[in-house]
A and B are shown apart, each in its own frame.
Chain A
Amino acid sequence: MIAEIGLAALWLAAALAVLQMVSGGFALRTSDGEAMNPLAIYARPAAVVQAVLAVLAFAMLLWAFAVTDLSLKLVASNSHSMKPMIYKITGTWGNHEGSMLLWVGVLALSGGLLAAFERRLPERTMGATLAVQGFVALGFYAFLLLSSNPFERLPIPATEGVGLNPLLQDIGLAIHPPTLYAGYVGLSVAFSLAMGALLTREVNPAFARVMRPWVLGAWVLLTFGITAGSYWAYYELGWGGWWFWDPVENASLMPWLAATALMHSVAVLAARDALRTWTIMLGVLAFSMSMLGTFLVRSGVLTSVHAFAVDPERGAFILGLLGLYIGGAFTIFALRAGAVSEGTRFSFSSREGALVFNNVMLSAILAIVLLGTLYPLVTEAFDVRVSVGPPYFNPAAAIFAVPMFMVMAVGPLLRWKEDKPARIQFEMLLIAAVLVAVIALVSFFGQFPLLPLLGLGLAAALAVAAMLPLRGRKLTRVPVATWGMVLAHFGVAVSLFGMACEGAFTQERLAAVAPGGTEQVGDFAVTLQSVSPVAGPNWTAIEARIAVSRNGAEPVILNPQARSFWSPSQATSESALLTRWDGQMYVVIGNQAEDGRWQLRVWWKPFVTFIWYGGLLIALGGVLAIAGRVRVDVKRRAAVKLGAARRADLDALNPASVPAE
């Protein structure tokens, strides 16, 4: 019954998406000054009800997973009655159909929120926006209902489920995919708004102010999702790395790069009425990248181009949707971009100029990542198998990232419209001095690879530069949104510092150790005390008891495990972490050698945690920026209301008064 309610809700939501699309389309037929087309009034309610239905459908699937309803094919093939409750629930989106339903649920929800609460836009633009949003949603409803129905019943209920991939049985799955999806889908609203504005020729600062919170929100969620995903991969995979340039990771990085560019460009549009076409193009690009990410992750094309052919229906369906939306959007863009009138001009040495430069650099990095991700797929189609990894991505991305960071340091110090670089020569000299001094100091103490060395220098310079916009200002009077920018830019410096330290100073020790033996890693003495078997709810493991002592201090016990899950049967390595303020100890246990010794792999990674602290700071900066904008908006609305009330009062007091000359 539960599943049937969910399926019915999904079909109804799809029908409402059609209504939303058609009704929104009628809004376009209203010409200026005319009353609203009578058929256009259904778009908003349709979006709201559709959101309720899609969320209901997702809730039904959650329920089916929570009670492990084994008559559902999806539950039977992805869950297990003996799994802990939390993983039963998170397992809802740990599979293809469930995660697509989550995608669509968030899509409908954000469309509903937009329809319910956004009153600043002209109704025509709103109608066009909702029509586009409905069109996007419809494609994904069709995908779910026609080729990956999450509510499919089994003819005979299974007696037991197959289980969830053990790597996914982690709290990381509870956080990482939902935030990332919400971020992807938040960009769909930005996309719909951009299309709506383009179709109705309303690309102006008012539109940018409507779009900005959606872009900022999506960007915050993406930032947080990527940070969480990076930490999850770091401790779960047991390889000691925090970023692998894996295609799935790149699939989330590409929308983030585009969203970062979009967020800055929409800020310019809102504040200065410049970069109109550019903003629209980035809006299209950002959502295209989310769609591409979904396609890469969901079509099976990543495991192999040939695996894509194993399930041609799904892959072709998403590819078709991708082509339709991206192709359609760029066609509309090409046809209408010329009609968008030119915004305000600015000189190259201005804050806009710096933002444009970094927008271009971000796009170039995006191109690098995109080409590197797609290249193996293209060559595989010609039966040449290659893999592209850090030796490509790191230097190629750095070529654009380094100038970007340098411009990012000085950009916020420049004035809008036009500025003389000479005005900020003290700040520029300070930043350059910090950069050179740190690089010189670090290279004095040892030989390090170029990129981490540059990273350390840039991190220090950026940390100083991030604080400079506050110089000479009264700190209590700095707007909240400015604090957001300072914090986010400082977060970049913190994150970069963590990455560079990890790259330059990591110490690694790999050894076969007999119980009782001790290995030295940096300041730490690592003693293997014992190895014993342990069992969990759905796994067995061997667990090592390892005493770690820093400079002879009181030892701390770590327990890395090598786990064997039985449903599905798979072995994973559970790393053990010891976190200190200045870094992390990372211990993995391997196999037993024939002579009874155990393989231990131990890393001391100085300041590695700063990578994720930085990510969190960046996300927090985004939250502050939203909070600041909302506060200003609320204040403005209150002031307008107050003003109107006062005027009404005055009019009531002297009804016959002549207007002041």
Chain B
Amino acid sequence: MKAKHQRLILVIAALLAIIGAGLIAAWTLRNQANYFYLPEQMAAAPPSVGQAVRLGGMVRNGSIKTEADGVTVNFMVTGNTDDAIPVRYTGILPDLFIEGSGVVAEGSLGPNGVFMATNLLAKHDENYVPRELEGMGTDQAAKMAADTTIGLQ
């Protein structure tokens, strides 16, 4: 094998591996990227059961119910329509998780239509706003989500 051929094979192998990595990345990203939903979007076109997504909106007043075990909470997340998504979360609540505040729930939709949250992102301090609710731009959905953070201030 000539030196030039060896270099060529090396380059081709490296390129193949990188392109392979790119394809795998693109394919997995399509399946695993965690999309952000507003309650009305989730009501209109729900993600498939078990798919990891994020749900962002406002905690409806009077909807937080703690179960008997003391660590599981159920609450409703609303947007700017009447649609509300029930959310169930087991864990330690963020410090400033209160009714009427903005929240982003990470998790997936269960078969019974309840959003099973694995993680809740809420305000940590006066400067912190969940990333998804920050400076969302001009379109209407974005405006709504920004409104939910006004309740935080």
Contact = CB atoms under 8 A, between A and B. Distances in A.
Interface of A: 277-278, 303-304, 306-307, 310, 342, 345, 356, 360-361, 363-365, 367-368, 371-372, 375-376, 379, 383-389, 391-392, 395-396, 399-400, 510-512, 562, 568-571, 573, 588, 590-591, 593-595, 597, 599, 601
26 contacts: A304-B131, A310-B135, A345-B3, A360-B14, A367-B18, A367-B22, A367-B25, A368-B21, A375-B29, A384-B35, A386-B33, A386-B35, A387-B131, A389-B34, A391-B34, A392-B25, A395-B28, A396-B24, A399-B24, A400-B17, A510-B90, A569-B125, A571-B124, A588-B92, A590-B92, A597-B70
Given A388-B34, A389-B34, A391-B32, A365 B7 contact: no
- Which one of A364, A384, A396, A510 has the greatest number of beta carbons of chain B within 10 Å? A364
A375 B127 CA distance: 26
Given A392-B29, A569-B125, A306 B134 contact: yes
Contact of B33 (A387, A569, A593): A387
A595 B71 CA distance: 12
B139 interface: yes
Nearest to A278: B10
A356 to B, nearest CB: 7
A570 B96 CA distance: 10
A389 B121 CA distance: 15
Contact of B3 (A342, A368, A594, A595): A342
Contacts of B82: none
B24 to A, nearest CB: 6
Contacts of A568: 125-127
B36 to A, nearest CB: 4
Contact of A364 (B20, B36, B132, B137): B20
Contact of B93 (A304, A385, A591): A591
B4 A342 contact: yes
B18 A363 contact: yes
Contacts of A395: 28
Given A387-B34, A387-B36, 17 more contacts: A303-B131, A363-B17, A367-B18, A367-B22, A375-B29, A376-B33, A385-B35, A385-B132, A387-B131, A388-B32, A389-B52, A396-B25, A399-B24, A511-B69, A571-B125, A591-B95, A599-B70
B67 to A, nearest CB: 10
Interface string B130-146: 01101111010010000
Contacts of B46: none
B13 interface: yes
Contact of B17 (A345, A361, A594): A361
A389 to B, nearest CB: 6
Contact of A371 (B29, B52, B96): B29
A306 B137 contact: yes
A376 B90 CA distance: 28
B71 A594 contact: no
Contacts of B127: 568
B66 A364 contact: no
A368 B26 CA distance: 9
Nearest to A387: B34
A599 B135 contact: no
Interface residues of B, number: 48
A407 B29 CA distance: 27
Contact of B21 (A278, A345, A367, A562): A367
A368 B135 CA distance: 28
B117 to A, nearest CB: 14
A392 B14 contact: no
Given A392-B33, A571-B95, A571-B124, A512 B131 contact: no
Contacts of B134: 303-304, 306-307
A160 B120 CA distance: 34
Contacts of B139: 383
A391 B52 contact: yes
B123 to A, nearest CB: 10
Contact of B135 (A304, A361, A392): A304
B65 to A, nearest CB: 11
B91 interface: yes
Contacts of A573: 92
A371 B36 contact: no
Contacts of A383: 137, 139, 142
